[in-house]
Structure 1
Amino acid sequence: MNITFEELNRFLEEQFPQGAAYGALEALGDGWAEMSLAVDEGHLRPGGTVSGPAMMALADVTMYAALLSRIGLVPLAVTTNLNINFLRKPVAHAPIRARASLLKVGRTMAVGDVLVYSDGMDEPVAHSTMTYSIPPDKYRN
């Protein structure tokens, strides 16, 4: 692992402050990350379910954290593709949690997947696969 939990949290606060609206870092390892989002009224859609954009945002920022655990603090690593399957309705006011795992990290691209869970449910509520673009060394901090 190229960074610590504390270093990544500090980096996210400084470089990606809007990320706090998408979730909080819970755990970090080499090529994986776990984050959670406290669901409130702003995350719900009609019918009392967590909105797709809320789950997508949590999945995306969790994958970003997993990628940075492997490549270091690279602000310009960006999502180039995100596919998500919504599997079941989450519990309306319960936190959602995501675990991202890297499948492959190359020189310029990374691929991973994310499972999203709703507190109180054993089965995942969403599954996402993502591709990230990793900038050349000259564009890294």
Structure 2
Amino acid sequence: MDIVMDAQALNAFLARDFPQVADDHVVEAINGDVLTARLRVADAHLRPGGTVGGPSIFALADIAIYCAILSRIGPVALAVTTNATIDFMRKPAAGRDLLARCRVLKLGRSLAVAEAMIFSDGAPEPVARCSMTYSIPPKQPENSRL
């Protein structure tokens, strides 16, 4: 699949259209068919016991998969998650950022299916595995009015 948006363009898109997540999440690289995104773990992401909470792990997976899909189709802000499954496999390492490694498995006209493996930075074993399906809105004709 061809790359339409690189890491720099995806980060600029997040900063412009989703500023509420852009400070904590960054697309680090797109290498071949794998997009890598980082959650900069801060106190706000921690649950009692000092580990990263499930909602923060899920958010990383969702943002990373969204960006992996946009890297192929361009800046479609209205593409939305229609299905998500996540398996939490182990406790994240304390004091480390989380990395999501994503692959788009199928890209159709109206649906995209992708997966993300979440790791503590520097750790070989995954923290979580997530698969998601996104709905891609139909393209609007250039001269149409909303």
TM-score w.r.t. length of structure 1: 0.91
1:109 aligned residue (108, 111, 128): 111
Name the stretch that deviates more: 18-27 or 8-17.
18-27
* Matched ranges for 1:1-141 at <5 A: 1-29=3-31, 31-138=33-140
Bigger shift: residues 23-32 or 56-65: 23-32
Moved more, 110-119 or 15-24: 15-24
When normalised by structure 2's length, the TM-score is 0.88
What is the number of equivalent residue pairs in this alignment? 140
Distance apart, 1:83 and its partner CA: 0.8
Report the 3-state secondary structure (helix = DSSP H, G, I; strand = E; otherwise coil) of the residue aligned with 1:53.
Answer: helix
Give identity over the alignment, percent. Answer: 49
CA distance in 2, matches of 1:129, 1:22: 21
**1:6 Cα deviation (Å)?**
2.2
Q: How far apart are residue 139 of structure 1 and its match?
A: 8.2
Return the alpha-carbon distance in structure 2 between the equivalents of residues 111 and 122 of structure 1: 25
Amino acid at match of 1:75: A
Q: Any unmatched runs of 5+ in structure 1?
A: none
The question of whether the paired residues in 2 share the 8 Å contact of 1:22 and 1:54 is answered with no
| Structure 2 CA distance for partners of 1:22 and 1:84, relative to 1, 3 Å | farther
**Maintained 8 Å contact 1:82/1:130:** yes
1:24 to partner: Cα distance: 1.0
**Would you say the 8 A contact 1:83–1:130 is kept in 2?**
yes
CA RMSD after TM alignment: 1.8
Unaligned runs of 5+ in 2: none
- Please state whether the residue corresponding to 1:138 is helix, strand or coil: coil
Which has the higher Rg, Structure 1 or Structure 2? 2
Return structure 1 stretches of 4+ with deviation > 6 angstroms.
none
